Amino acid sequence: MLTKSKLFATSNRTNVKLGLLSLLFFLIIKFILSHAVLSSFSGLYLTLELDKKDRVIVYFAGGDRALFSENRAKRSKEIPAGKKITTGIPLNGHLARKLRIDPGDQSTQIKLYALALESDYGPPLHLEAEQIFQRFKPNESIASYRLEQDHILIEVSGADPQLVLQDELMVENQFISLFFPFILSFVFYLLLSSFRWRQFPAIADLSRDLSSTHINYAALDGVRGIAVLLVLADHTLPAFTGAGTAGVWIFFVLSGFLLTIPFVDHPERAVSVSYMREYLIRRLKRIIPMYYVYIIVVFFLHGKYSSGAVRHLLFLQGDGHLWTIQQEMLFYLVLPLIVAINFLIFRGRTAWIVAALAILMIAANIWLDRSVISMHGIPTDHRTFAGIFICGMLFSYLYHGGLLHSKMKWIQTREFKFYASILGVFLLLGFILLGTDTLTKPGYYPAHRAPGQFGIAAGIIILLALMTSGGFFSKLLSYTPLRAIGLVGYSFYLIHPVIISLVGGMWEHYMGYRMGLEMRFILVLIVTYVFSAFTYTYIERPFLKRAS
């Protein structure tokens, strides 16, 4: 039993952690506000004199290494020659943390007197000639750049003269820069102190089981997590291009494996109308809520009311990564037919069922092309990949049907688990590397060209993950962060393209430069997981509980 002193020490440690997290939150909010708010300006005013009639162009960006482009540029009205005037350029609230001024292509001599920036979040910024001279640097097209009494004299010798701001522009506003982040951080602290992490479903369900099979396989969560990471790496890291296909085959095999378990244990369920009704309801509740939320957000809330949006709702079209949802839904309809035929013909005899599924898997992989079933959504191949799902069914019968346990006691030995773990690690590494063109010629991508073989490899990986329970391969796949990603894998898979676009776009917009590939992968992984944890908790899980 904990003493008062120990409880006090534990409480203090908790408060310190919460305080540090709140401080980090404060710094992040302060940083965001400085970039997104205090560096936005409504207008820019230049006081200057040109020796020829011309226009001034202002380029603006939000970061330290500015990406100045034409879509981040504003032009002044035409400026008459030989007159000192003040010209206004509307910025419409755009970020102008970094600034570049192009004083025209026609003028050869320019006198720049002052620059002013208006903001909706603070007093105007006024820069006199001396301040401009100190903070802006000319490019090589400007032959002379010198400070006179009340102006800067600029003499142009080449095309496209430029003045580039060397530091950053930001208005002063103590409320926004300090008080507002402090209030938000205090609210964050209060919410965090009352939040029970162990009770949050995306965390709590790592030790519970919500599936219809009532079986909790920690290693299989990790396998699903590997598949998720392969898909994300494919879409963010050029070195892993093609790996997402291998990840999808894992999803398909794992789906076939898990959905078959109830029919291995109770073959008669295959011809039970009530059970099949419950099965279909569970599958629909598993897929539709989150999928429809995604479709509504991506299509209808963006005003995309085309027939393609309707076809997506009906699972008749799957653009981009959504093609896999079509495949899942088709398999959900095919599985009852397969298990019913197996029961009626083989009456639960596992060896015969495994042989029949092996033949069916090979036949589906070879002959089930787009001439039989055409799936609208895959750019290069409109076929169905039912053979890979059937592969998962086959391995489910192998494992749960007793063929690998009843007469093979050595499977339970420590030596077997050790060598099987080694095999599992090498097979998983080969599976990942062959998903890309790392071990083959560029652009070959074996995972795409040989889905049947990769399906079998995925099935063996799943089998070894279960058979090495207690071994290091199973422990590796049961690593909690990997399992956490796998648990929310469906939401993660659906929304990750949106997060990739969101993170990349916001970073470039507010920071002014493109982030590194590794940084993008890590940031997208974190942000997507956070969003997925909430969509799993508040969209997926309520329907999973009702469907269990």
> String of b and e for 103-128 (b: at least 16 CB within 10 Å)?
bbeebeebbbbbbbbbbebbeebebe
Give dist(CA 23, CA 180) in Å, integer.
Answer: 13
Query: Is there a single domain that holds both residue 224 and residue 127?
Result: no
The last residue of one of the domains, among 161, 195, 229, is 195
Cβ atoms < 10 Å from Cβ of 74: 17
pLDDT in tens, the chain (548 residues): 446 565 555 567 777 888 899 999 999 899 888 878 898 999 999 999 999 999 999 998 876 555 688 888 999 999 999 899 999 999 988 888 889 999 877 888 999 999 999 998 988 999 999 999 999 999 999 999 999 989 999 999 888 899 999 988 889 888 998 999 999 999 999 988 887 777 788 888 887 655 555 565 889 999 999 999 999 999 999 989 989 999 999 999 999 999 999 999 899 999 999 999 999 999 999 999 999 999 999 888 767 767 778 888 888 888 889 999 999 999 999 999 999 999 999 988 889 999 999 999 999 998 887 777 777 766 556 678 999 999 999 999 999 887 665 556 777 788 888 999 999 999 999 999 988 887 777 878 888 889 999 999 999 999 999 999 888 999 999 999 999 999 999 999 999 999 999 998 888 777 767 788 899 999 999 999 999 999 999 999 888 765 44
C-alpha distances (whole Å) from 66 to each of 159, 196, 312, 508 are 21, 42, 39, 9
Do residue 24 and residue 76 come from a single domain? no
Sequence-separated (6 or more) residues with CB below 8 Å from residue 203: 197, 484
The partner residues of 155 in beta bridges, in order of sequence, read 109, 144
Q: Does 185 lie in the same domain as 137?
A: no
Q: Give yes or no: residues 165 and 277 share one domain.
A: no
Same domain, 100 and 154: yes
- Residue 239 in domain: yes
Whether residue 431 is found in the same domain as residue 308: yes
* Burial of 410 (C-beta count, 10 Å sphere; 0-12/13-18/19+): exposed
Distance CA 143, CA 162 (A): 11
User: At which of 151, 169, 187 does a domain end?
Assistant: 169
Length of the chain: 548
Instruction: Quote the number of domains for the chain.
Output: 3
How far apart, in whole angstroms, are the C-alpha atoms of residue 198 and residue 205? 9
- 337/243 same-domain check: yes
Using alpha carbons, select from 79, 73, 103 the residue that is nearest to residue 91.
73
CA distance 88 to 129: 17
Q: 434 Cβ partners below 8 Å, 6+ apart?
A: 246, 440, 446, 447, 454
Which residues form the domain of 178?
20-38+173-195
For residues 25 and 86, membership in a common domain is answered with no
Report the alpha-carbon distance of residue 319 to residue 326 in Å, rounded: 10
Q: Which spans in 94-179 are helix H?
A: 129-135, 174
In this structure, are 329 and 470 located in the same domain?
Answer: yes
415 and 465 in a single domain? The answer is yes
Residue 10 maps to a domain: no
- Dihedral angle at the C-alpha atoms of 69, 73, 79, 82, nearest 10 degrees? -50
The answer to whether residue 381 sits within a structural domain is yes
Give the span between the Cα atoms of 201 and 208, in whole angstroms: 10
Give me the half-sphere count of Cα atoms (radius 13 Å) on the Cβ side of residue 175: 2
Tell me, yes or no, whether 76 lies in a domain. yes
Q: Is residue 5 a part of any domain in this protein?
A: no
Residue for token digits 């560029």?
442
- Alpha carbons 227 and 431: distance in angstroms, whole number: 11
Q: Is position 13 within any domain?
A: no
CATH number, domain with residue 48: 2.60.60
Query: What pLDDT is attached to residue 36?
Result: 82
Say how far apart CA 438 and CA 421 lie, in whole Å: 24
Same domain, 46 and 29: no
Q: Last residue of a domain, which of 104, 134, 169?
A: 169
Are 372 and 225 part of one and the same domain? yes
Contact between residue 234 and residue 430 where contact means Cβ atoms under 8 Å apart: no
At 14, is the secondary structure helix, strand, or coil? Answer: helix
Residue 523 covered by a domain? yes
Q: Please indicate, yes or no, if residue 203 is contained in any of the structural domains.
A: no
